[in-house]
A and B are shown apart, each in its own frame.
Chain A
Amino acid sequence: MPRRPDLESICLIGSGPIVIGQACEFDYAGSQALKVLRAEGYRTIVVNSNPATIMTDPGFADRTYLEPLDVEGLAGVLERERPDALLPTLGGQTALNLARRLAQDGVLADLGVELVGAGFDAICRAEDRGLFRRTMESVGLRVPESRVVTSLAEAPDDLAFPVILRPAFTLGGHGGGTATTPAELERLLERGLAESPVGQVLVEESLVGWDEFELEVMRDARDNVVVVCSIENLDPMGVHTGDSVTVAPQMTLPDEAFQELRDAAARVIRAVGVETGGSNIQFARERETGELRVIEMNPRVSRSSALASKATGYPIAKVAAKLAVGYTLDEIPNDLTRTTPASFEPTLDYVVVKFPRFAFEKFPGADETLGTQMKSVGEAMGIGRTFTEAFLKAMRSRELEGGAEAPWAGLDDLPEGVHPWFRVELKRARELVRSTRAASDLVADDWLRLKRAGWADADLAAAWETSEEAVRAARRSWGVRPAYRRVDSCAAEVAAESNYLYSTWGEEDEGRPARGRPRVVILGSGPNRIGQGIEFDYCCVHAAQTFGALGFETVMVNCNPETVSTDYDTSDRLYFEPLRAEEVGEICDRESPVGVVAQFGGQTPLKLARAVEAAGHRILGTPSEAVDLAEDRERFAGLCGRLGVAVPPWGVAEDAAGAVAVAEEVGYPVLVRPSYVLGGRRMRVCYRPEDVAAAAEGAGHVLVDRFLEGAVELDVDALCDGEETWVAAVMEHVEEAGVHSGDSSCALPPVGVGPEVVAECEEVVRSLAPALGVVGLVNVQLALHGGRLYVLEANPRASRTVPFASKALGVNLVEAACRLIAGSRLADLEVPRGQTPGHVSVKASVFPFARFPGADAVLGPEMRSTGEVMATAADFPSAFARAERAAGRPLPAGGTAFLSVRDADKPAAVELGRRLDALGFSLCATGGTAAALAGAGLAVARIRKVTEAGDGATVVDLIRRKRVELVVNTPDGRGARSDGYLIREAALLARVPCVTTLAGAAAAVEAIARATRGETLSLQERVARPA
């Protein structure tokens, strides 16, 4: 069928900020879909609150709205734009839930907007557990048996043991467990009912230990169904698939068992009634009996479909978008082969393994046990011609920081329940290395055997206790180099000029790059982690686009399957490879680029820059020397001294005693951290010598800085051509110094500091950037303390704020940077210098605390946010209120405000209380804070702390019962299980806005007082309507 002629405009919903379980895969899906829909001639409208997405770039849709993804935000856009259709299947669960609510509330019907992709009924059938069960049973399939229990008397006796208990509405399944006997069931049920704030426990048939499989299925309007990819989890049932190591295609099922899954998958998608598009269907299968359960189905594109797209080369989101507008699978050509249709199911002649990337080190105290709640923050994929080759590539692509704990740490320590086939293969690989002693013993065939099993030079160096370089040299002396293979979706059955490559060993190389245009290699940012996420992928994608437009051939290297950068459409050639010295070096040797672009992928490429240079390749733009200069504290402080730029007093120490000595010298409070950190890892603010000693203990080389308490932090993104500097954006943090810049909200332009401070910031950056040798982007963090401006750090690379700043300013900073890197001068660039936007943009962060019960939900020097949102309005309060809404923390208009602050904050809390009182809030507080407020003449109810004896409800009870609309709680540093901790945990659970800094609270109150609803405007309109 041809495309639907009755539709003219289509609105697509994005997935909002990056959170655990919803990452850049939906930017990949959304941007693919937008490309397709525009090419089909539709007018496209996109709504997403996440500025770091490619899909929200102004060129990707006709109208781009950075609006909160709530009913109000969407309804506002739909009213303005009146699209014919809404496509909700490409923006994750967020978009699906939102579409469901818009349909339920009658918004879609009122505005005459049709849901395409998945209709309301299909969404309900997939999302409602009871309805899903009945739907599955109607086609002869089973779901895990379960009962909802609200009292001990209701303990089910008809479920086979073991059973799993899941108390409702507890964080991370807290209070749950597995019962194997009736007595155990009773005991756990009693506990679970008590733990659940609603007194409800789900008792479910346990499938722990069953094998888990996923199928990616597509269906078109003619009811054709194809299976794009099968995925097998190495971690069996019980571990969320997002936290599992997975392999594609499935490895252990014989044909008859696999076809049974395939048949079941087709029945599921038809029964649920997904009219067109992709679905992910998860199955549990008992290894011996073959018994099958349908675990869940997502009537939409998912994280697994991004993985499946990258694993097969089959662009699921692109095809789903075409199906949604009426095409059928036989009409859509396969991108890679061009001659076969989308109904040709991919067949793989390689193996793909995905590893999750965890960040437990960021959440001390959190339960690290893997379960049914996803906890990983990112993923890496490896492609190889054998299972172990793919497995080891993915494993090393994780880029674990030294000492970070993670499941699947090594081959000697495999989790329980892994299918024996995988164990045997991995054991074989391990024994191959064990059978060797030293590089000098090996001949070419031995090298090939090791490399074909998947071992990296670095692994062998570790096994033989030598250097990676020595291993590499020995290997190359035998002429053993990698070969590159194409991902073509058809196992070479059809000639495909695919530009999507991976390395292997001992095979023919295909598609050696032909001589032609000058080439650049762009190094990506690897798996998402806290502190390095989608923002850097955004920058890499723009780098590829810009260098392409400048006439270069672009080569992308990355290993993150979620991203837009690993879409083969993004660059001229894509190498899906680990971002490590060995692989990057081999790619550079093969490509002979004019240079390597390392400043857009965060710290990952910067760490590789030296190795790239040592291998004889050139780093384009800012040289790696500048990185050393900025990161070596001694050299950097020296440079600042010469330039007359102030830095906070500091010193270095080798041990705890030395750290205390430095602290005494620079003056308290101090900031103690290991000398090399990403995202503020292990940073501590210390007020006393014993704290310093504790923070420095065992950390090795530590930096001790004077901590500028209460300072206002400023973030600057600037462009430099080596001589001249353009300060593009000066952003002011909402939270005071001490909160990591990635976690702090920020405003552009600054709203709290005057133009003279902004001018001074610009001055400092203008002297610093060329002195560092920056060619391209630089980010400088400054602090205003006691009327004086200090430089905290400089990063000679694109920063996390670049996408936000680009969108707030309406200037593509990455594009400008790439032009400078390619040799242009600033003077040649058409950038709107000296112009401030006529509106205020606010960036706010979102946090995964709800996933990590046990970890304290406070802001501090260690970055813990996973993502961010952006909102723009005429003034700061309105933008801030909107940003908080977009971050899922809408500010209350009135009600009860609870305050509990540490002693040092009491005077400020009084001020805060006064303003809240004036706004009509009733106040309540615990002991000390209540006394302070009452002392100032404010009416305040005194509430009992949890740890205080007495009658009546505690503060936690009140929060749980939703008697409180706003919580302001500044931490007293006592940490786990303290009153403060319990308050914050309760607020998190009850979804009550909880502010943990005074500056944040002040901004919130300001926003409550002065925010106006304002106008809903698209990015395109803002650009067209300058100040």
Chain B
Amino acid sequence: MSGFLVLEDGSVFRGRSSGALGVAHGEAVFTTAMTGYQEIVTDPSYAEQLVAFTAPMVGNYGVSPQRSESARPQARAVLMRRATGEDWPRWLQAQGIVALEEVDTRALVVRLRERGAMRAAAVAGAASVEEVLAAVRAQASMAGRALVAGVSTPEPYRVGRGPTPVAILDYGCKRSIVERLAASGVEATVWPHDIDAGTLLASRPAGVLLSNGPGDPAALPAHVEVVRELLGRVPLLGICLGHQLLALAAGLETFKLPFGHRGANHPVLELATSRVLVTSQNHGFAVRGDGPEVTHVSLYDGTVEGLALPDRRARSLQFHPEAGPGPHDAWPEIEAWVEEIRYAQAA
């Protein structure tokens, strides 16, 4: 079955269906990670996005439940040069994900790089390009979209055992974050995104982790408000969207990157040590800043990759220290934070 991807600028990329049939609307983005396709597709930060893989062969090692970053696929569609094996296309189909292969993904990447991430639709099956394009243009843009409600946990739950209680504010939290924390010997409670600061603090966590998540941070004023209330009252670690919310709460601004950073090879400079971390990244928005609070910068485009507000016991990372997928260079960032709050707890 043939299919196509149409971008809001009218460009069309032909392909062949290797997943579910249907039409999937969302923002077209690409990732340069060479492994971890299942992790990426199930990462809640990819909600309402159509993900193109620059890696040309996707599906090589099948599918395994342990690799999912959440309970279900989150990306709306998958665009590939070639889907391999039997398990991966079967899984995509079973999960109802529109997937196209034989797509000129490199041409697509060049288009997105030059014109920015765009509204788009992937179609598996017969459809009129004109009609789909009209629907694409009627879609809301990612800027201004609040999406965390769709991906957060409805109820709080607990993971791991240990003397150090940590609260995770789930804006679309990846399983790897929870696992990294659990591996550091903490007891993590994962809270719904709309929990209020009072309830959270009443649970007396040693620290609060603001998770990753999809959408535009600027569209989440209520969440920013909660972070502002937490700021200074409990140690905070923000990751990705959590980092952006922390920045907004601290009075900084966020902005939409032209086409985002998505991959597993992004070098980040840790300013204090001049050390380079090779990081896993997935963000379409970034924090504007050049003040003393900036701890990490991207060696790729100089954007902010980390913040620290020591007097308010808060810090944050734009990249994904938990990896999943990607290099483990930044695992120690999570471990170090856990050590810190444990120390503070003991003090």
Contact = CB atoms under 8 A, between A and B. Distances in A.
Contacts of A241: none
B81 interface: yes
A386 B274 contact: no
B266 interface: yes
Given A259-B326, A349-B56, A425-B84, A330 B104 contact: no
B267 A343 contact: yes
Given A249-B34, A259-B328, A340-B299, A385 B56 contact: yes
Interface in A221-272: 222-224, 226-227, 249, 251-256, 258-259, 262-263
A421 B106 contact: no
Given A330-B269, A492-B106, A255 B36 contact: yes
A492 B269 CA distance: 22
A387 interface: yes
Interface string B95-138: 00000001011110110010000000000000000000000000
Nearest to B277: A224
Given A253-B61, A425-B84, A493 B263 contact: yes
B220 to A, nearest CB: 28
Interface in A336-354: 340-341, 343-351
Given A262-B328, A340-B299, A387 B57 contact: yes
Contacts of A485: 106
Contacts of B326: 255, 259
A344 B32 CA distance: 12
A718 to B, nearest CB: 48
Interface string A458-494: 0000000000000000000000000001000011111
Main secondary structure of the interface of B (DSSP, over half): loop
A328 interface: yes
Contacts of A385: 56, 81-82, 106
A375 to B, nearest CB: 30
Interface size class of A (residues with CB under 8 A): 35 or more
Interface centre among A255, A340, A345, by most B CB within 10 Å?
Answer: A255
Interface stretch (A365-373, A503-511, A886-894): A503-511
A487 B166 CA distance: 46
B92 interface: no
Contact of B39 (A223, A255, A346): A255
Contacts of B54: 347, 349, 491-493
Contact of B106 (A249, A258, A349): A349
A421 B85 contact: yes
Interface in A310-348: 328-330, 340-341, 343-348
A424 interface: yes
B55 interface: yes
Nearest to B301: A339
B325 interface: yes
B263 A347 contact: yes
Contacts, number: 141
A495 interface: yes
A421 B276 CA distance: 35
B266 A344 contact: yes
A490 B67 CA distance: 25
A222 B275 CA distance: 7
A255 B60 CA distance: 11
A340 B300 contact: yes
Contacts of A490: 32
Contacts of B56: 348-351, 385-386
B265 interface: yes
Interface string A421-433: 1001100000000
B323 interface: yes
Contacts of B276: 222, 224, 226, 328-330, 343
B327 interface: yes
A349 B105 contact: yes
A387 B84 CA distance: 10
A705 B218 CA distance: 87
Contacts of B32: 347, 349, 490-491, 493
Interface string B44-59: 0000000000111100
A386 B57 contact: yes
A351 B81 CA distance: 12
A662 B326 CA distance: 71
Interface centre among B54, B107, B265, B300, by most A CB within 10 Å?
Answer: B265
Nearest to A224: B276
B235 to A, nearest CB: 28
A329 B278 CA distance: 11
Contacts of B323: 259
Contacts of A350: 56
Contacts of B104: 506-508
B85 A424 contact: yes
B327 A507 contact: no
A262 B33 CA distance: 14
Interface centre among A224, A252, A329, A425, by most B CB within 10 Å?
Answer: A224
B64 interface: yes
Contacts of B325: 255-256, 259
Contacts of A346: 265
B278 A226 contact: yes
Contacts of A262: 327-328
B68 interface: no
Interface string B283-327: 000000000000000011000000000000000000000011111
Given A222-B275, A330-B276, A252 B60 contact: yes
A350 B105 CA distance: 11
A251 B324 CA distance: 18
A878 to B, nearest CB: 52
Given A262-B328, A491-B54, A347 B34 contact: yes
B176 to A, nearest CB: 10
A263 B105 contact: no
A791 B73 CA distance: 75
Contact of B267 (A251, A341, A348): A341
Contact of A253 (B35, B105, B274, B327): B35
B62 to A, nearest CB: 8
A331 to B, nearest CB: 10
A506 B107 CA distance: 11
A421 B109 CA distance: 27
Contacts of B328: 259, 262-263
Nearest to B55: A349
Contact of A259 (B55, B109, B327): B327
Contacts of A263: 328
Contact of B35 (A223, A254, A340): A254
B237 to A, nearest CB: 22
Contacts of A226: 267, 276, 278
A491 B56 CA distance: 10
A663 B266 CA distance: 71
Contacts of B102: 452, 506
Given A262-B327, A425-B84, A485-B106, A254 B61 contact: yes
A252 B278 CA distance: 22
A347 B102 CA distance: 20
Contact of B299 (A255, A341, A425, A508): A341
Given A347-B264, A351-B57, A421-B84, 11 more contacts: A227-B278, A255-B326, A330-B269, A344-B300, A345-B267, A349-B32, A386-B56, A491-B109, A493-B32, A494-B300, A506-B102
Interface of B: 30, 32-36, 39, 54-57, 60-61, 64, 67, 81-82, 84-85, 102, 104-107, 109-110, 113, 263-267, 269, 274-276, 278, 299-300, 323-328
30 contacts: A222-B274, A222-B275, A251-B57, A252-B60, A254-B35, A254-B36, A254-B67, A255-B33, A255-B35, A255-B324, A259-B326, A263-B328, A330-B274, A330-B299, A340-B300, A341-B299, A343-B276, A344-B267, A344-B300, A347-B33, A347-B55, A349-B81, A350-B56, A421-B85, A424-B84, A425-B84, A491-B32, A493-B54, A506-B104, A507-B107
Q: Which 6 pairs of residues, A with B, have the shortest CB-CB distance?
A: A491-B54, A255-B325, A255-B36, A343-B267, A345-B265, A255-B35
